[in-house]
Amino acid sequence: MREVAVIGIGQSIFGKLSHMSAIDVGRDAVVAALKDAGVNPKDIQVAFASRMYDCWVTAQSILKEVGITGIEMVNVENACAGGATAFRGVWKDIADGRYDMGIAVGVEMITNSPLAGKLISPTKDDLDGELGLTMPGIFALLARRQMEMYGSTIEDFALISVKNHHHGCMNPFAQYKKEFTVEDVVNSHMICDPITLLQCCPMTDGAAAAVLCSLEKARQYTSRPIKVIGSALLSGEYMYRMSDITLSPLGSKTANIAYKMAGVGPEDIDLVELHDAFANEEILRYEELGLCKQGDGVRLVRDKETWAGGRIPVNPSGGLLSLGHPLSASGVRNIAEIVLHLRGQAGERQTPNAKIGLAHMLGGTLSGVEAGACSVHILAR
């Protein structure tokens, strides 16, 4: 298996972009990534795109706009892990020597989609969903269990939102650049007790793209290629284990595969981007990724370890909570954030001397017990 590097990253603005088409938004990200990489569109040999809604030859429709044609293109869907699945598709093809250079694109147009309601309403063929269990409902159940089991408080969850919005204020691409206090978060509109509005990620349109190539070839384009040293994608036991819904064996298993491939452990990671669709979720992911032991996650945010400038910044981009969450785009966008830090280009939110970063995504349907996907990518400079 060959070593693979990311040599270009790009994203569109994130927000309510209903005045634009998916092609417009996707093209913005692709053009930015190609420019960042300094490669000619004709050098791209394979492309994977991800889009959850209206995924009709998305890769082809976007890429023809920049003259990328006559190559293998695949469109993928894997719920919130779709963008990461596209990234992994390109990574595999290059690692396995099938192609030398490729592009991964994630795009989602949610705010003006007639299907947007599906995000929080029951999906078809989903028993729990049909019985009324919505996404905020699931995470409220988790939050209650976290409070019961580990003594977490609503203020702890609010602190995650305060942190990520603080980070988002340093990110020019963030949908919501505003500082909030714990009181602001706790007192915002109640969605599903104990989850308030400011503990939920917003509805967001946007796109992100990444150019990958063999490490050998990367040196022709850049003096600082960012290596993909671990990649894992798994589906299976998902959101909650019935005996303890705060445990997600899928997350731990996926992370362990990536750690093993990379030859590193959680203690070697300098920064993390993870799936924080709801504030309390971030704490669960700390634990699954091995950043702390089970039940100890709240300590990391209370002690400022996961804040920008802390021991191991988590979601320095602002995360889904502040930056926004255009589903299939997020998995490419959060890898791009890691790349920025490893290059030392993250501006005022830069993680000092970052050498190794981890990007995590997780998604699935409402019942979710097994119908989900989790991805972990580990990158190194």
Residues that bind a second copy (CB under 8 A): 21-23, 47, 52, 54-61, 64, 69-79, 85, 89, 92-93, 96-98, 123-125, 233-237, 250, 253, 363-365, 369-373
In whole angstroms, the minimum distance from the beta carbon of 137 to a second copy comes to 18
Sign of the CA dihedral 146, 331, 232, 242? positive
Q: Is 193 in a helix, a strand, or coil? A: coil
In whole angstroms, the minimum distance from the beta carbon of 108 to a second copy comes to 13
Please pick, among 55, 80, 200, 201, the residue that the annotation labels catalytic: 80
Question: Helices in 151-212 by DSSP H: which ranges?
Answer: 154-168, 182-187
Residue of 149, 330, 371, 331 whose CA lies nearest to 240: 371
Q: Is 99 left (phi over 0), alpha (psi -120 to 50) or beta?
A: beta
CB-nearer residue toward a second copy: 37 or 232: 232
Q: Token digits for 338? A: 């890691």
In whole angstroms, the minimum distance from the beta carbon of 8 to a second copy comes to 21
Residue 148 CB partners (closer than 8 Å, separation 6+) = none
C-alpha distances in Å from residue 74, one per residue of 49, 81, 114, 259, 334: 6, 15, 25, 27, 21
In whole angstroms, the minimum distance from the beta carbon of 11 to a second copy comes to 20
Residue 343 CB partners (closer than 8 Å, separation 6+) = 224, 226, 381
In whole angstroms, the minimum distance from the beta carbon of 159 to a second copy comes to 32
Judge contact between 379 and 228, C-beta under 8 A.
yes
CB-nearer residue toward a second copy: 48 or 139: 48
Based on the residue annotation, tell me whether 80 is a catalytic residue of this protein.
yes
Q: Is 10 in a helix, a strand, or coil? A: strand
Other CB atoms closer than 10 Å to residue 127's CB: what's the count? 11
In whole angstroms, the minimum distance from the beta carbon of 13 to a second copy comes to 19
CB-nearer residue toward a second copy: 16 or 355: 16
In whole angstroms, the minimum distance from the beta carbon of 232 to a second copy comes to 8
CB-nearer residue toward a second copy: 77 or 156: 77
Q: Is 154 in a helix, a strand, or coil? A: helix
Q: Token digits for 110? A: 């949610």
Q: Is 287 in a helix, a strand, or coil? A: helix
CB-nearer residue toward a second copy: 80 or 342: 80
Specify the DSSP class assigned to residue 374: E
CB-nearer residue toward a second copy: 70 or 117: 70
Judge contact between 346 and 172, C-beta under 8 A.
no
- In angstroms, the CA 31 to CA 9 distance is 10
- In angstroms, the CA 202 to CA 277 distance is 9
Single-letter residue type at 373: A
Judge contact between 76 and 86, C-beta under 8 A.
yes
CB-nearer residue toward a second copy: 82 or 194: 82
Catalytic residues: 80
